[in-house]
């Protein structure tokens, strides 16, 4: 948070070392959404991983919240060019969720309540790079920011961090999700400025 100071907000900071190319710093948290906000009651919420063999691993809210969680502070980079540094979250690492999952799949297709999808290599979800986050800034994650729980993969553009996450389907092929089908990059590395499909 120390890097956010008044006056920087909204200005292009291409020379800012913590910002990927083409990004500017913002201190608010813009809400972007491709559709209506789904309401997901906690008593029906579940997070499910389905392997390429059809094996299912599922956690209801109670089981999910009993998993070890961690606090994390990460930078967010949205493809619409805003970046927000030093955001505080609490969530369960995907390393924990994938610990007992037997798979040879190389990709994950992420599905959300409300129908949103995205895709990424499975290795981008491992080794402390991704979480299912359920708190933001010490509060329950608000629905407009993806609550009850969202994927958080901060090293990729924020559209990969699917709000209202419902589960993963592990696949041998990389299957484009919602924005990847609509013209955005299949991988989306902000440091390599992989914004659009043709980049």
Partner 1 sequence: MTDSFSTSLPAPDGSAPDGTATVPEPAFLDGNAAAGPLRELFTVDLTAAVGTCASCGDAGPLGGVRLFTQAPGLVGRCPGCEDVLFTLVRSERDTYLSMKGFTTLRFPTAG
- Only one residue has tokens 């359920």, namely 134
* Cα 37 to Cα 94: distance, rounded to the nearest angstrom: 24
Interaction between residue 10 and partner 1 (CB under 8 A): no
Start-end of H helices in the chain: 61-65, 94-97, 178-182
Interaction between residue 82 and partner 1 (CB under 8 A): no
Which residue, 78 or 170, is less far from partner 1 as judged by CB? 78
Q: Provide the minimum distance between the beta carbon of 124 and partner 1 in the complex, in angstroms, as a whole number.
A: 19
* Cα 22 to Cα 159: distance, rounded to the nearest angstrom: 16
Q: Provide the minimum distance between the beta carbon of 127 and partner 1 in the complex, in angstroms, as a whole number.
A: 27
Considering only the stretches 1-9, 41-49, 67-75, 78-86, report the one whose residues sit in contact with partner 1 under the rule CB under 8 A. Answer: 78-86
Considering only the stretches 26-34, 44-52, 58-66, 117-125, report the one whose residues sit in contact with partner 1 under the rule CB under 8 A. Answer: 26-34
Interaction between residue 195 and partner 1 (CB under 8 A): yes
Name the percent of the chain in helix, strand, coil, to the closest 5: 15, 30, 55
Contacts of 20 (CB under 8 A, 6+ apart): 77, 83, 190, 191, 193
Q: Residues 61, 82, 113, 159: which binds partner 1 (CB under 8 A)? A: 159
Considering only the stretches 29-37, 97-105, 121-129, 131-139, report the one whose residues sit in contact with partner 1 under the rule CB under 8 A. Answer: 29-37
């Amino acid at each position: 948070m120390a890097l956010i100071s008044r006056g920087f907000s909204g200005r292009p900071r291409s020379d800012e070392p913590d910002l990927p190319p083409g990004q500017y710093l913002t201190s608010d948290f813009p809400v972007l959404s491709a559709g209506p906000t789904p309401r997901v009651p906690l008593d029906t919420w579940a997070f499910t991983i389905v392997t390429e063999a059809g094996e299912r691993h599922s956690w209801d809210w109670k089981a999910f919240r009993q998993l070890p969680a961690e606090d994390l502070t990460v930078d967010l980079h949205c493809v619409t060019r805003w970046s927000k540094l030093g955001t505080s979250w609490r969530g369960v690492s995907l390393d924990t969720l994938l610990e007992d999952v037997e798979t040879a799949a190389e990709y994950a297709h992420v599905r959300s309540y409300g129908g949103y999808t995205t895709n990424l290599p499975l290795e981008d979800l491992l080794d402390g790079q991704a979480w299912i986050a359920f708190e933001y800034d010490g509060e329950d994650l608000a629905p407009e920011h993806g609550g009850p729980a969202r994927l958080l993969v901060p090293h990729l553009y924020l559209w990969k961090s699917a709000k209202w996450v419902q589960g993963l389907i592990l696949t041998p092929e990389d299957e484009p999700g919602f924005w990847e089908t609509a013209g955005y990059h299949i991988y989306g590395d902000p440091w390599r400025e992989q914004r659009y499909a043709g980049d």
